[in-house]
Each structure stands twice: as structure tokens, then as C-alpha cells.
Amino acid sequence: MKRISADLFVALLLVGGDMAWRLVAKTSSDGGSFITLHMTSFWLIWVCLVAIGRCFAGVTILREQSPAIALVAEWLLILLGTHVFLCWLDTIWEPHDTFKTVWDFTLFPLLIPSIVVSSGSYLAARFLLMRHTL
């Protein structure tokens, strides 16, 4: 139950990060321009921080003993599920967009880099945490 709660909290953090930058972009034209220009960087940094936090919670609180590949696969399922949810939410926030358009637009600049970078961050954090907790 703790693991499911941690995974849901992680998904909420990812959605919350997306909503926060949307709120800033809508309330400030300068902020919106800055965020639009650096959206990929913001998303990659946020996803990496959340991945490291999830890894830290898994090692220190949940005491996960599963193989690293299984934990990274779980992380990727959370990330992919959240991305699909955010694509769907975007069709609500911007009704002129379709799910396919949003998915296609975000696949290469956001999803694939976030998979690579956050998985690497997760594995590096796990390696360091396991090394220091033994």
C-alpha cells in the first residue's frame, strides 16, 4: 500500500509541476515566453528531481529490494502513464488540440528525453543510496 501511495504521489508531483508552469505562463506574458523557450529544460529537471525523490523514498522508507531493472520499469510506467494523462489534460485546457496532436508534439522533445535522463538519474541515485546504506 505504501508503494502505491508513493507512486501516486509521484504522479501528482509530475502533474503539479506541469500545472505550475502552465499557471505561470498564463498569468505572465514574460513568464510564459521564458517557460515556452525553456520547456524541455524545466521538464527534464523536474522529472529528474522527482525520480531521485522516488528512488530515495524507495530505498529509505519503503526498503525496496527488487532488482534495479524492475524499479526502473516501474518508474517508466509511472512516467508514461503521467505523460498520457497530461496529453489528455492538454486537450481539455486547449480544446483546439487533439490527443494525437499533443502526443506527437511532445513525444520527441519531452517524453523520450525524460525517459532517458530520469532513468539515468534514478539508477545513479539508487546506486549511491544503496552504496551508502549498506
Using one digit for the tens of pLDDT, what is the confidence trace for 68-106? 999 999 999 999 999 999 999 999 999 999 999 999 999
**Would the pLDDT of 19 be above 90?**
yes
Chain centroid to CA 47: how far? 4
Choice between 131 and 44, residue whose per-residue pLDDT is larger = 44
Q: How many CB atoms lie within 10 A of CB 29?
A: 9
**What is the mean predicted confidence (pLDDT) over 122-126?**
96
Cell of 132: 551508502
Taking phi over 0 as left and psi of -120 to 50 as alpha, with beta for the rest, 63 belongs to left
Measured distance CA(86)–CA(92) in Å, rounded: 10
Amino acid making up residue 53: G
Per residue in 34-74, pLDDT tens?
888 999 999 999 999 999 999 999 999 999 889 999 999 99
Measured distance CA(82)–CA(98) in Å, rounded: 17
Residue 133: predicted pLDDT: 72
Q: Is the pTM of this model over 0.85?
A: yes
**Would the pLDDT of 134 be above 80?**
no
Measured distance CA(118)–CA(71) in Å, rounded: 12
